[in-house]
Structure 1
Amino acid sequence: MTLSIRKIEHKGAFRIGIFFEKNYAIQQQLKGIGAVYSRTFQCWYIDYNKVAYQQLKTLFPDLQIQQPVAGETSSRDLPPIAKSELQLGLHPSVNNPEHITKVDSLAQKLRLELLPNLGKYWVFKIRYVQSVVNQLKLVKGVYWHATYKVYMAMRNPKVKEAVERILEVSDFFPEDYLEKEVVFEGKSIVLRSHQEDVKWMEVYVPPLLALLEKVKRISMVRYSKPNACFLLPASPAVYEALVAHFEPHRVVIQSELPNGYLNKRNIINKKQIDLARTKSQLFSTVPEPAHRFVSNYVDTLMAVNYSPSTIRTYTQQFLQFLRDFEYRDPKDITYKETVRYLASLMERGLSATSGHSMVNALLFYYNQVEQIPGYELKLPRPKKEKKLPSVLTMEECLLLFRVVENPKHKLLLLIGYGAGLRVSEIVNLEWRDILFAEHKIHIRNAKGKKDRMVMLPYSIVSSLEYYKQTYQTKKYVFEGQFAGEPYSTRSVQEVMRMALQKSGLEKKATVHTLRHSFATHLLENGTDIRYIQQFLGHSSIKTTTVYTHISASAVSKIQSPLDRIAEQNHQKKLE
């Protein structure tokens, strides 16, 4: 497969953008040289320097150089990247040989642009200039919106004065402070029927940041890439919510729905939304030759009640298999071809975990989808690397919890560590699962669709009760942006990342690291490993025994034979 590259500007610096059709083997090779995926550019990228380019060129000698994209900071100077900064256009004298000094205002240099208001915020864009960004960070009421790559400033006179002083402009922000609503006179949101599923209606929103953001905040909304619109359940309650949301902005809700299209039974639960979103995301990447194979595959996975994450993983692996065999009928692919294919993946650097996923995906297809009589597929299993999980000490856990000031954020980390929960179990925790009288937590429908009982730490009971009175959430313990919807796993991971950064700890850790730490600390305290297995919800004791290899107290009690010889020799000298 041929890769193409071009120079991009991402996160305030130049990068080498790497573009190619999705391929897991290539992704693994790119990860090996430190490449990172960018959702903004929908490509992988590495640093824009000589060493990184040479590493990339060594891996993929047939690199193709793309032309610059209109409107994107780029250049045609990727081919001579291995020469010098002067040739790369990074030296200040390049493009200005006469050294003519051109005086521009700061606003011109920043390409300052005011966008439509978003709720209680003014919205503006600037180019990244570190000195200006550092000053903006110090202004209370100003923050960076990572999704839309814009700055948000509270519509307040003091904020207006401070930001305009930093940007060296006057009367940049209008005086429409918080008491005034933003009006979009003449704008309309169009509702149309959804041909693929009548339980949904298509919502077409004008391309204005404030309106787009407001639609995203409506419960159960999702985006359809093929139709380039938002989808909402086709129910009267959702329609009324749309009208109520946009009435203050004088936005007209223009309905092109047939009579009787809206039905109160179309309200969809969380599982339905997850499965529908997963199916939509998968089929948006499936080419026509593979559609019939993938369609049967996904239908079977859903029929046996696999989770959305498993459906996503298996289908992506199966689609990769089809793509590499140029969308041949899988029944015509021989056993030897399949083994040779797996061997080539390992040779190209695919991890053992991904290899196992590929084997499982293929076995499911041949055994469950095709159900070929007497057909056996005995594939060799790639040997899995045995990696020890990262663990924090009790002192490091305490330091981590102390730096978190937000009560909600602190409590979700405490309960994750104190009960050894997975991040998905934290966000899906409901108040009915907290058994205060028994000091237990009922974990429902966890990994493998299993229930289990875990401990509710005595030390957080009072905090949990105070949190319940303060936040007054009804169903989920930790609610997200919308009432009645759970907190997102990405938000929990971000809380952990910020706490780790603030604590100054140099260890790499995630929310799952707290679960590893919980198990390790229990083992060090003398807890029977069978109880730890039950707390963690492991099907096999072999999974739990990994913690015996990282238990500090257990290892410290074992003496090296060399130390024993040295002690005996020292004792003889004393005698």
Structure 2
Amino acid sequence: MTLIIRKIEHKGAVRIGIFFERNNAIQQQLKGIGATYSKTFQCWYIDYNKAAYQQLKILFPDLQIQQPVAGETSSRDLPPIAQSELQLGLPPLVNNPEPITNKASLAHKLRLELLPPLGKYWVFKIRYVQSVVNQLKLVKGVYWHSTYKVYMANRHPKVKEAVERILEVSNFFPENYLEKEVVFEGKSIVLRPHLENVKWMQVYVPAQLVLLEKIKRISMVRYSKPNACFLLPATPAVVNALVVHFEPHRVVIQSELPQGYVNRRNVVNKKQLDLARTKSHLFSKLPEPAHYFVSNYMDTLMAVNYSVSTIRTYTQQFLQFLRDFEYRDPKDITYKETVRYLASLMERGLSATSGHAMVNALLFYYNQVEQIPGYELKLPRPKKEKKLPTVLTKEECLLLFGVVENPKHKLLLLIGYGAGLRVSEIVNLEWRDILFAEHKIHIRNAKGKKDRMVMLPMRIVRSLEYYKETYQTKKYVFEGQFAGEPYSVRSVQEVMRMALKKTGLEKKATVHSLRHSFATHLLEHGTDIRYIQQILGHSSIKTTTIYTHISASAVNKIISPLDQITEQEYEKKSEDELKPKK
């Protein structure tokens, strides 16, 4: 395989960037000479000196030095590494003169660029220079936007003064401190039909950060890389939402949709959207040789009605398998090669859970997709680590709920603990599932596509009724940013993380730890384990029996043999001391 190198600047220093298609053998060789992987540049790099370059040439004689791309203006790109070692800029062995420094302005060195403001922020872009970045981090009101790779600064006079002093510029930011909306006169958002699926429409947004950020806030939106546009359901409600969102910016909504294309029947449900996003995300990373195998694989998974999370996990594992075998036809990969591959994964420190996922993904492919008559693939199952789940005590649970002030956030955690719900069950809870009269909660289509009934804790009934009157949500109990959409799983996890941080507890607990705590506390109160199994929705009693290992009451009743023999010795000594001395 041919490696491409080019000069890059990374972490405040010049480096030799090494670019190549993923290859484990090459990665190991590069690690041997001290190379490091850069997520920023998505390449490996070493120090920019002659010794490092010579090591590279010894390992990879066919190195290719990359030339600049025509018209490329990215801040990452530096002058290309030249074809000769002298042009490469490496210092000669003797008589190395002092380098000639170019005393250009700091703004020129940083390639400082001001972008259109976003809400209450000024937006600017600079090249990475560690000393400058460290100073910007200390300014209150300056933030790094990881998605767009830009800095955002509060539109405040003190922030303007501090940032301009660091960047060594004057009057860089305008004095539009309190403007609420940015006006884009003459700009328009174009709506066009989506040929692949008529339920969707293509939305072309001008390349302005404010507008791009705002389109992402609309429910059901997703981005199509092949068409370089956003996709939204072709419904009247969505078109009206676009008009309302962009009217303050004076952006015109220009429709090129045929008559009758927009229809209220084009509403996309959540599972359909999740599947579309998963498929789009996975296929965006695929080279052409893998499209056929992965497409067949995902079609079969969807045909047997697997959940979105299972489809995502299985497909990612199968894709990893194809990638490591350089996209060979899986039918041509022998049994011994597959076993050797699984062994290499374990050697690299892959967890047993991931190993099982890989085995399941491969078995599904050969058994369900290929359906080879008489073909049987017996793969060794890696032994799974038996780890005990994190459990909070009752006192810790009370402390956790006590530090949460937001009533919505507190109710999220209370219902998760009080009914032993998974985080996905919390966010998908609907008002029709809350049976106030029966004091029960109907959990629909949970893990394994099973329904079950759980208790509705008496202590939160009044809180739920008050919450319903206050928030007036229609379908979902806990709505997200947009009406009619459920609260996101990530938001619930963030609520739990912040609450745990406020308590000062050192346990690494998650939302799922509340479910573990619920089951453990039930067991400690003497609840039959069969009932706990039904409440939690476990298919096998083996899954529920893990809580017998962490039940405090059960552990406290068991006395260590050491305590028993020392206690006996202590009692014997006490008796001897009480006996009258002769």
In the superposition, the TM-score normalised over structure 1's length comes to 0.79
Contact 2:191 2:203 (C-alpha < 8 Å) held by counterparts: yes
What is the match of residue 219 of structure 1? 219
1:62-87 residue CA offsets vs partner (Å, 9 max, x unmatched): 9x9999995249999xxxxxxxxxxx
Q: Report the Cα offset of residue 314 of structure 1.
A: 0.7
| Displacement of 1:112 | 7.9
Report how far residue 353 of structure 1 moved: 0.8
Question: CA contact under 8 A between 2:199 and 2:234: conserved in structure 1?
Answer: yes
Correspondence list, 1:438-453, <5 A: 438-453=438-453
Q: Is the 8 A contact 2:4 2:65 kept in 1?
A: no
Do the aligned partners of 2:423 and 2:492 also contact (CA within 8 Å) in 1? yes
From the superposition, tell whether residues 519 and 247 of structure 1 become closer, same or farther in structure 2 (CA, over 3 Å): same
Change (3 A) 1:490 1:148: farther
- Give the distance between the partners of 2:520 and 2:25, measured in 1 at CA: 34
Higher relative contact order (CA 8 A, sep 6+): 1
Asked if 1:183 corresponds to 2:183, the answer is yes
Matched position secondary structure for 1:136? coil
Match of 1:71 in 2: 75
CA distance in 1, matches of 2:533, 2:559: 28
Looking at structure 1, the residues matched to 190 and 360 of structure 2 have their Cα atoms a distance apart, in angstroms, of: 44
Task: Find the aligned partners of 1:104 and 1:397 in 2 and give their Cα distance.
Answer: 57
Aligned to 1:560: 560
Counterpart position of 1:462: 462
Instruction: State whether residues 235 and 267 of structure 2, in contact with CA within 8 Å, keep that contact through their aligned partners in structure 1.
Output: yes
Change in CA separation of 1:353 and 1:200 when aligned onto 2, cut-off 3 Å: same
Contact 1:189 1:205 in 2 (8 A): yes
Question: What is the SS of the residue equivalent to 2:454?
Answer: strand
AA matched with 2:362: L
Aligned to 1:381, what secondary structure does the other structure show?
coil
Superposed CA deviations along residues 400-444 of structure 1, whole A, max 9, x for unmatched, are: 222222222222122212221111111111111112222221111
Distance 2:355 2:2 in 1: 23
| Structure 1 position 251, deviation (Å) | 1.2
Any residues of structure 2 matched to 1:315-354 within 5 Å, and which? 315-354=315-354
Unaligned runs of 5+ in 2: 28-35, 48-54, 69-73, 81-97, 576-582
Aligned amino acid, residue 467 of structure 2:
Y
Q: Which residue of 1 aligns with 2:33?
A: none
Q: Secondary structure at the match of 1:190?
A: strand
- Map of 1:214-253 to 2, 5 A cutoff? 214-253=214-253
Report the CA distance between 1:261 and its aligned residue. 3.3
- Indicate how the Cα distance of structure 1 residues 341 and 122 shifts in structure 2: closer, same or farther if over 3 A, else same: closer
Name the residue aligned to 1:378.
Answer: 378
Q: Which residue of 2 aligns with 1:518?
A: 518
Name the CA shift for 1:16/1:151 in 2 (closer, same or farther; >3 Å). Answer: same
Amino acid of the structure 1 residue aligned with 2:75? G
**Equivalent residues in 2 for 1:105-116 (5 A)?**
115-116=115-116
Please show how residues 139-218 of structure 1 align to structure 2 within 5 Å: 147-148=147-148, 160-164=156-160, 166-167=162-163, 181-218=181-218
Q: Distance in 2 between matches of 1:387 and 1:224?
A: 41
User: Is the 8 Å Cα contact of residues 125 and 151 (structure 2) preserved in structure 1?
Assistant: yes
1:163 is aligned with what amino acid? V
Q: Equivalent residue for 1:497?
A: 497
Give the match's secondary structure for 2:295: helix
C-alpha change, 1:444 and 1:191, in structure 2 (3 Å) is same
The 1:367–1:26 alpha-carbon spacing in structure 2 relative to 1, beyond 3 Å, is farther
Q: Output one character per residue of 1:337-386: Cα deviation in whole Å (capped at 9) or x when no partner.
A: 32232222222322111111111111111221122222222222111111
Per-residue deviation, 1:551: 1.7
Structure 1 position 517, deviation (Å): 1.7
Q: CA deviation at 1:244?
A: 3.0
Secondary structure of the 2:349 match is coil
**Pair 1:525–1:315, CA change in 2 (3 A):** same
Aligned-pair CA distance for 1:285:
1.7
Aligned length: 531
C-alpha displacement of 1:324: 2.4
> 1:402 matched to which residue of 2?
402
1:164 Cα deviation (Å)?
4.1
Quick one: distance in 1 between partners of 2:553 and 2:22? 46
Gaps of 5+ in 1: 28-35, 49-56, 77-95
Give the Cα separation in 1 of the matches to 2:346 and 2:181.
Answer: 58
Distance 1:559 1:3 in 2: 64
Q: Cα distance, 1:228 vs. partner?
A: 2.3
Contact 1:422 1:512 in 2 (8 A): yes
Distance 1:296 1:395, change over 3 A: same
In 1: Cα distance, 2:16 partner to 2:439 partner: 54
Rounded Cα–Cα distance in structure 2 between residues aligned with 1:14 and 1:516: 50
Q: How far off is 1:526 after superposition?
A: 2.2
What do residues 277-306 of structure 1 show as CA deviations (whole Å, max 9, x unaligned)? 111112112221121111111111101111
Give the C-alpha shift of residue 211 in structure 1. 0.3
Find the partner of 2:140 among 117, 122, 136.
136
Alignment-mate amino acid for residue 159 of structure 2: V
The yes-or-no answer on 1:367 pairing with 2:388 is: no
Amino acid at match of 1:570: Y
Q: Deviations over 1:202-255 (max 9, x none)?
A: 212122121011111111111122322211112333223323322231212233
Q: Which amino acid is the alignment partner of residue 450 of structure 2?
A: K
CA contact (8 A) 1:424 1:489 kept: yes
User: Once the 2 structures are TM-superposed, how far is the Cα of residue 132 of structure 1 from its aligned partner?
Assistant: 5.9
- TM-score normalised to structure 2 length: 0.78
The code of the aligned residue for 1:248 comes to P
Query: What amino acid does structure 2 have at the position aligned with 1:336?
Result: K
Other-structure match for 1:550: 550
Partner of 1:282: 282
Measured after TM superposition, the shift of residue 257 of structure 1 is: 3.3
Q: Distance in 1 between matches of 2:400 and 2:323?
A: 45
Quick one: distance in 1 between partners of 2:511 and 2:273? 25
SS of the residue corresponding to residue 253 of structure 2 reads strand
RMSD, aligned CA: 4.3
- What amino acid is aligned across from residue 320 of structure 1 in structure 2? Q
Q: The residue matched to 2:223 in structure 1 has which SS?
A: strand
CA contact (8 A) 1:25 1:348 kept: no
**Corresponding residue for 2:262?**
262
Number of the residue aligned with 1:54: none
The residue aligned with 2:358 is 358
Give me the whole-angstrom Cα distance separating, in 2, the residues matched to 1:362 and 1:568: 59
Aligned residues of 2:2 and 2:64 also touching (Cα < 8 A) = no
Structure 2 Cα separation of the partners of residues 547 and 37 of structure 1: 42
Would the aligned equivalents of 1:480 and 1:488 in 2 still touch at CA under 8 Å? yes
CA contact (8 A) 1:110 1:129 kept: no
Distance of aligned partners of 1:529 and 1:322 in 2 relative to their CA distance in 1, 3 Å threshold: same
Q: What is the rounded CA distance, in whole Å, between the counterparts of 2:401 and 2:77 in structure 1?
A: 42
- Please give the secondary structure, in 1, of the residue aligned with 2:297: helix
Cα 1:326–1:224, aligned 2, differ >3 Å: closer, same or farther?
same
Q: CA deviation at 1:177?
A: 6.8
Report if aligned partners of 2:191, 2:253 keep a CA contact under 8 Å in 1: yes
Q: Tell whether the 8 Å contact from 1:441 to 1:454 is kept in structure 2 after alignment.
A: yes
Partner secondary structure for residue 140 of structure 2: helix
